[in-house]
Structure 1
Amino acid sequence: MIPEKLKQTDQSLIELLRDRLSLSSELPTIDEQLTYVAPLLASAGVPESIWANLVSSCHAALSTVASSSPTKKVTPRNITIIGGRGRMGRFFTQQLTAAGHNVSILENEDWEYADQLLSSAELVMVCVPIKWTVDVIKRAAQYLAPTTAVCDITSIKTEPVQAMLEYHPGPVMGLHPMFGPNVNSFAGYKVVACPGRNDDSFEWLLDFIKTNGGEVIVSTPEEHDYMMVIIQATRHFSRFSVGVFLAQEGIDIERSLSMSSPSYRQEIDIIKRLFAQSPQLCVDIMLATQDRCHAIATLADTYNRLAKLVARGERAALIQEFETAQSFFGEESTSSSKLSHENHADRHLSRYCMPVVPNRS
């Protein structure tokens, strides 16, 4: 027997989901929604991952309905994904195939067929680990037609975009999906697009992402890499460090959760998700560039400086540190609307990011 209260709760939830689906055209991205919903989740003791999966599923359902609409016409494209059997490669393979495109895959053992797989492709997408991206771009370029559009999806953009511009005379764009491979669709997520050459050749691809619920953020490769120092590298290091500390101390996580606050449970949930990923991917994100390594070292120095204040019991100094940061975040909220994205990145990150002169052809 199903408890009556459970049936009533499920019925209410279904009705609320129906209402949410009806608001599809007004829904912001998942990240934007978190700005207002995170405190509500914390007070209710609901992990952000559960909420994000639910919302993502709603977006995915809407995308499925839209893509199966009889009025929607897709011009099939010949696409080759290098690394299409990797985790992110599989995501793009599935999404593009489901939309009606002809997708071929080139893996490391398939280079003897590279001419066949690459020469007739309208789009070649490079979906390989960071450390191999530039070498794969250089190797693939010799098989490409001058009209073939080439893009990559790695989490750094300056080097790959410069490599594509240097080795391929045709259309070039860098893409960075701001999500992991365990999502079901683009719905509710961002993709950063870094134009390189002949942007119009990628218009159909960007439209495909947006039609399926994604948000495309346009950036220069240099600005993207500035921002990823903070968005990815230092954030990964911070959570990586806490996870290593908890394991090192042998903390009974389940026992700690039994007496924790909602915010602690959310933090543990985020750390667990980090350590559920590939260790190679996590480490490569931190080590991808010298700028990232330098920023992480600077963050570690900050930890060390503050830890010494704690060890010495310097209450007044810690309060001063808090108030300085408090003032910064207050100023940020009032001044951010007056700054362009590029000036914003340069102002806050240039002290440890080396400027790169873009190579445009």
Structure 2
Amino acid sequence: MDENFRVGIIGGKGKMGNFFKNFFEKKGYPVEVSDVNTTLTNIELVKRNKIILISVPIEIFPEVVKEISSFVRETHWVIDICSLKNEPVKVMKKFLKKGEILATHPLFGPYEEDLKGKTIAFYPVRGKEIVKWFKNLMSSEGLNLVKISPKKHDEIMALVQVINHFWLILLAKTIKDSGFNLKDLIYLSTPSFLRQLHILKRLAKQDPQLYAKIQLENPLGKKFRNLLCRNCKDLAKAFNSEKAEEEFKKHFILAKKVAEELEILLDKIFPEKI
């Protein structure tokens, strides 16, 4: 590995920062980290490393970018991994006048042991060499790379992340309020419901503060939460009405059509998965 390709991770003591520290080290890259409790400062880290990965909470991201902006040179490659892309890209464009810049969003958490088949979204802000290097590196791990604009990314994340997490919290609250014994619920679960419980159990390892930011900082989150709740209310009213069977069949057929489209697309995009 070329010694000039040193990696510096700002926020390297955090969960995702540490994940990428281990990732780059396994790939043979020298890695240094800076964080609130390190002797190495963000500015010193930038001076010592070519590749700068910024892995900090989105609320302090602008502050960090401003702090290092005067020390980023033409030879630097800067990467962010924020879960939202529109505002971070604007910040990087505004303050980082030199170097190559790549906006990314790993669509997986820090506890993944195998990245094969996982997805990482990216958007080239400036420069071509960083994109070529990044795509080759991530592809070598079996990751799926999706190029997408920051605006479109954030719109889709309002459904993929915001509604997914909202649904899981809603499911957990409904289970809790039902009064059922969890062990009985597990023993009597159908295969499909058991899969949902396995997804829900992943929240046990997650950071409430991080999930709160994902849920509340996406500007389109409110729109999709309200849409979900409106649909829940409408369906409950329909299924409780005198025409319940007719209404159920109508909505089930709609769901089947979506499912049929999903079956075709999922088999095409992820042919190795069931």
TM-score normalised by the chain length of structure 1? 0.67
2:91 maps to what in 1?
Answer: 163
Name the residue aligned to 1:179: 108
User: How far does residue 127 in structure 1 lie from its aligned partner after superposition?
Assistant: 0.9
Match of 1:247 in 2: 176
Q: What's the counterpart of residue 162 of structure 2?
A: 233
Amino acid at match of 1:300: C
Equivalent position amino acid for 1:321 in 2: H
Which residue pairs with 2:148 in the alignment?
219
With over 3 angstroms needed to count, the CA separation of the structure-2 counterparts of 1:147 and 1:283, relative to structure 1, is: same
| Aligned alpha-carbon RMSD (Å) | 2.4
Aligned 8 A contact 2:34 2:40 in 1: no
Report the Cα distance in structure 1 between the residues aligned to 2:139 and 2:261, rounded to whole angstroms.
Answer: 33
Measured at CA, do residues 327 and 190 of structure 1 come closer, stay the same or move farther in structure 2, by a change above 3 Å? closer
Counterpart of 1:116?
44
Aligned partner of 2:225 in structure 1 is 296
The list of structure 1 runs, each at least 4 consecutive aligned residues, that deviate by more than 6 angstroms after superposition, is 331-334
Q: State the partner residue of 2:252.
A: 322
Identify the residue that residue 239 of structure 2 maps to in structure 1.
310
The 3 A distance-change label for structure 1 pair 213 and 283 is same
For 2:2, the equivalent position in structure 1 comes to 75
Change (3 A) 1:81 1:290: same
| TM-score, L = length of structure 2 | 0.86
Matching residue of 2:59 = 131
Higher helix share: 1
Q: Match for residue 45 of structure 1? A: none
The structure-2 alpha-carbon separation of the partners of 1:330 and 1:264, relative to structure 1 and needing over 3 Å to count, comes to: closer
2:154/2:218 contact within 8 Å kept: no
Which whole-Å CA distance do the structure 1 matches of 2:153 and 2:213 have between them? 17
SS in 2 for 1:260: coil
Cα distance change on mapping 1:250 and 1:199 into 2, 3 Å? farther
Tell me, what secondary structure is at the counterpart of 2:41?
Answer: helix
CA contact 1:95–1:185 (8 Å) conserved in 2: no
User: Does structure 1 retain, via aligned residues, the 8 Å contact 2:43–2:67?
Assistant: no
Moved more, 308-317 or 191-200: 308-317
Q: Which amino acid letter does the alignment assign opposite residue 80 of structure 1? A: G
Please list the CA deviations of residues 259-300 of structure 1 after superposition, one character each: whole Å capped at 9, or x if unmatched.
221112111111111243111222222112111221112111
Structure 1 residues 310-319 or 239-248, which shifts more?
310-319
Residues 312 and 134 of structure 1: is their aligned pair in 2 closer, same or farther, counting only changes over 3 Å?
A: farther
Structure 1 residues 261-270 or 280-289, which shifts more? 280-289
AA in 2 matched with 1:89: G
Report the 3-state secondary structure (helix = DSSP H, G, I; strand = E; otherwise coil) of the residue aligned with 1:282: helix
Q: Distance in 2 between matches of 1:159 and 1:111?
A: 30
Deviations 1:34-90 (A, max 9, x none): xxxxxxxxxxxxxxxxxxxxxxxxxxxxxxxxxxxxxxxx22312211111111111
Q: Describe the shift of the 1:326–1:244 C-alpha distance in structure 2 as closer, same or farther (beyond 3 A).
A: same
Report if aligned partners of 1:186, 1:209 keep a CA contact under 8 Å in 2.
Answer: no
Tell me the equivalent position of 1:278.
Answer: 207
Match for residue 105 of structure 1?
33
Give the aligned length.
263
Aligned-residue offset at 1:330: 4.7
- Higher RCO, 1 vs 2 (CA within 8 Å, ≥6 residues apart): 1
Larger of the two Rg values belongs to structure: 1
Q: Classify 1:234/1:313 alpha carbon distance in 2 versus 1 (closer, same or farther; 3 Å).
A: farther
Aligned residue number for residue 70 of structure 2? 142
> 1:167 Cα deviation (Å)?
0.8
**In structure 2, C-alpha distance between the alignment counterparts of 1:189 and 1:163, rounded to whole Å:** 27
Alpha carbons 2:119, 2:146 under 8 Å: kept: yes
Question: SS in structure 2 opposite 1:130?
Answer: coil
Q: Is the 8 A contact 1:134 1:159 kept in 2?
A: no
- Name stretches of at least 5 consecutive residues in structure 1 with no aligned partner: 1-73, 337-361
116-125 vs 310-319, which moves further: 310-319
- 2: CA distance between counterparts of 1:207 and 1:308? 52
**In structure 2, do the counterparts of structure 1 residues 258 and 332 end up closer, same or farther at CA, with 3 Å as the change threshold?**
closer
| 1:347 match | none
